[in-house]
Structure 1
Amino acid sequence: MTAPQQHPAASALQGLFTLANETEREVARILGLNLTDYRALSALAQTGPVTVGKLAEDLGATPATTTAIVSRMESRGYVERHRSTDDRRHVQVSVTPAANRGIMNLIRPLMTATNEHIKALPADHRAVVADFLDVAQHLMRDHLHTLSEKDAR
């Protein structure tokens, strides 16, 4: 039995997913982090300061696991905790400026090249690419949610 033929765009997207995963692993390796810690660091870099509870929710991890991740990264200088001046019980976690620069130095060449390529496209093509990627992102999120629901059963 053979698998149904995929559209070339779907095959290219699958290849992009694989490369994204490999790139993520390599960036984590260069930073001296395991993949879980890098994903937490990356999430923090994208969202800005959040509580450990919110980070746990974003990662789909338990608060206890996320606290351990934050503690490891804090001890290595990648993140810092900030107590609220209004309520000292509230603690937010953020990426240190040095860690943020490190991530950006590794990611910027790809982001710059991608941005330049997209800017060089005709406006109608840019809109189609953006729409396609937006739909692909929603499909991935929905699929992840479906997989997570099946795993919870």
Structure 2
Amino acid sequence: MNSDRPETRRDADSAAVSTEAAFVLEADDAHLLTEVGFLAAAAGDVARADIIFGALKRLRPGKGFPLIGLAVVRMNAGRAGEAALLLEQARCDNAEDQGLLRAWQGLALQLDGRAGQSRSVLNAAAHGEGAGARLARGLLGQDAPAHPAAGGAGNESERSY
């Protein structure tokens, strides 16, 4: 394999830039970009929201919030099936974020008309004490729902960006 080929250099350069940028991007900046991404998603601007959340996914690998953002964009665009698949395949570095992904997957399945699958995913996600479990229980009507727009995370100041 020739590492001087343009596409190989570009891939290596992208990885290096993303790694460097991940250290440079402050948590407050990531939070602001997340908010802007959700505003774009709410306005139906799928292209811009995808760019923002796609960049955050590269800058914060292993975090759940960019993946949730990508899913919300699709749900808002009436493409809940795509959102459910994206979330089904998504993996995070920590259990809290993984629980949020499962809860949002349950919502996407519900919006896609797959109530049985939704209940199954939400029931599995509802166990535990994390934000994802609270959101899943809320969506199942088992306790007061956390507001999904806040990622079901409760106190926004406690989120790690």
TM-score, normalised by the number of residues in structure 1 = 0.30
More strand by share: 1
- TM-score normalized with structure 2 length: 0.29
